[in-house]
Structures are given as structure tokens and as C-alpha cells.
């Protein structure tokens, strides 16, 4: 088992760490990475885990990112892998997360304590029986961030909650018997775009705006022979 803990960095070190880059690669089973990153440097972090039962963060010890202009690329390849990460605050950053395999579990919290303006969050899962819980804008100060989710496979479960101002969520699902539960709430202009291909998929979309003068947009393109699509705008 590989256990790596990175604690980074107080502001006084930024002059030395402005262009620092990390690359972590773990092959085999049951590798674990526990990561806490803090500061304002332009961090570049690449993580690849190959095998089964690998972990990046847990429900009680989440991988945590805080800082601006970061580039984070994380790949988990195998079965039964776990990702639990929080982007507490990060402006003008890019996060790309990929899960390839079956029965993988991912939990992502974006804007846990602050803003995530002008940041991009891309998540792609390829395989069956994977689960994603995605919370965007847990902090009241969090504002817009763009989210792209691509799911390919069967029997995958997605729970998406967006509370940020002007949430833009683009979702692609290609496969069968997948479940999507999307909630966009708060006093904000929200947009959801869904491209759906496959059969027996269940889609539940809920847009709730606190102000009647603020609009929500849902754009769905579905090529499917069966399934349920339920849209509620309030």
C-alpha cells in the first residue's frame, strides 16, 4: 500500500513554488493517497492509480484543494476505487477527473468554503455500476463554475446538486439503466444541458429559483427507446 500525504503551502513559500508540478503514479491494488493542498500558487498535479481498491481521500479524510490557477488531472483505472475530494476555494483553475472501470465511487464537493469563479470541472466515468455524488456551491459565497460530466456504461448512479450563481452543467450519458438526479437551487440563473443516448434511463431534473424574475434553462436531447424523464421548474 502506498500512502502519500501532501500538505502545501503557506503564502510565505509562494515565491519558491509558483510553477511547481507533481506527478504521482501508483500501480497495483489498494493504493491510498491523502492530500491537503492550500495556498495561491499555480499548482500542477497529475495522479494516476491503476488497479482495484485504490483510494484518493475518504469520507472522513477528504482530499482538499484550495488555491487559484491550479491544474489537477486525476485518473483511476480499475474496479472498486474511491475518490472523495473537496475543492474548498479555487478561481481560474482546471480539474479533470476520470474513472475507468466498474463499481467505482466518487464524491466531489465544489466551492466548499469559498468561490470557484472561472474554474472548469470535468468528470468522465466509463464502466458499469459506478456512483457519483457532486455538490457544487456548498458555501454561500461560491459563484459560477462550469461543469462537464460524461458517463458511458450501464447502471450508473449520478446525484448532482448545484447552488452556485449561474450554474452551467453539461451532462452526457451513453448507456442503459442509468439514474440521474439533478438539483439546481438558489437565487440564480441555472442552465442544464443533457445529451442522452440509450434505454431504460431515469432522469429527474429539478430547477428551483428563489426569485421569480430569474430564469432556468433545461436543454435535453434524447435518443432512447424507453426510460423516464421528469423535469420540474419552479
Q: Which helix (H) or strand (E) holds 37?
A: strand 32-38
Three-state secondary-structure class, residue 14:
helix
Q: Which residues form the domain of 133? A: 3-233
Task: Show the DSSP H helices in the chain as ranges.
Answer: 14-17
Q: Which residues contact 170 (CB under 8 A, 6 or more apart)?
A: 146, 147, 148, 149, 193
The total number of structural domains that make up the chain: 1
> pLDDT tens track of the chain, all 234 residues?
333 343 333 322 222 233 345 555 555 567 788 788 776 667 888 888 888 888 888 888 888 888 888 888 999 999 999 999 988 888 888 899 999 999 999 999 888 777 777 788 999 999 999 999 998 876 666 666 688 999 999 999 999 988 877 778 899 999 999 999 998 887 667 788 999 999 999 999 988 776 655 567 889 999 988 889 999 887
The cell 455500476 sits on which residue?
129
pTM: 0.82
Of 133, 179, 183, 192, nearest in space to 163 by CA: 183
One DSSP character per residue, 57-120 reads: --SSS-EEEE-SS-EEEEEEESSS-EEEEEEEE-SS-EEEEEEESSS-EEEEEESSSS--TT-E
Amino acid at each position: 500500500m502506498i500512502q502519500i500525504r501532501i500538505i502545501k503551502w503557506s503564502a510565505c513559500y509562494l515565491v519558491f513554488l509558483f510553477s511547481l508540478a507533481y506527478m504521482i503514479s501508483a500501480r497495483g491494488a489498494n493504493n491510498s493517497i491523502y492530500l491537503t493542498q492550500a495556498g495561491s500558487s499555480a499548482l500542477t498535479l497529475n495522479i494516476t492509480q491503476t488497479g482495484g481498491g485504490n483510494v484518493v481521500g475518504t469520507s472522513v479524510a477528504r482530499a482538499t484543494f484550495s488555491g487559484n490557477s491550479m491544474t489537477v488531472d486525476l485518473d483511476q483505472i480499475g474496479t472498486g476505487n474511491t475518490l472523495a475530494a473537496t475543492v474548498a476555494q479555487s478561481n481560474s483553475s482546471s480539474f479533470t477527473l476520470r474513472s475507468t472501470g466498474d463499481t467505482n465511487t466518487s464524491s466531489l464537493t465544489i466551492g466548499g468554503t469559498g468561490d470557484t469563479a472561472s474554474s472548469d470541472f470535468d468528470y468522465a466515468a466509463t464502466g458499469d455500476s459506478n456512483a457519483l455524488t457532486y455538490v457544487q456551491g456548498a458555501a454561500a459565497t461560491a459563484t459560477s463554475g462550469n461543469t462537464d460530466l460524461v458517463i458511458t456504461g450501464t447502471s450508473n448512479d449520478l446525484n448532482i446538486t448545484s447552488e452556485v450563481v449561474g450554474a452551467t452543467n453539461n451532462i452526457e450519458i451513453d448507456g442503459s439503466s442509468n439514474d440521474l438526479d439533478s438539483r439546481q437551487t438558489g437565487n440564480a440563473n441555472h442552465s442544464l444541458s443533457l445529451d442522452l443516448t440509450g434505454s431504460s434511463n431515469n432522469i429527474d431534473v429539478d430547477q428551483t429559483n428563489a426569485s421569480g424574475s430569474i430564469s432556468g434553462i433545461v436543454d435535453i436531447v434524447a435518443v432512447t427507446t424507453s426510460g423516464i424523464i421528469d423535469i420540474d421548474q419552479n
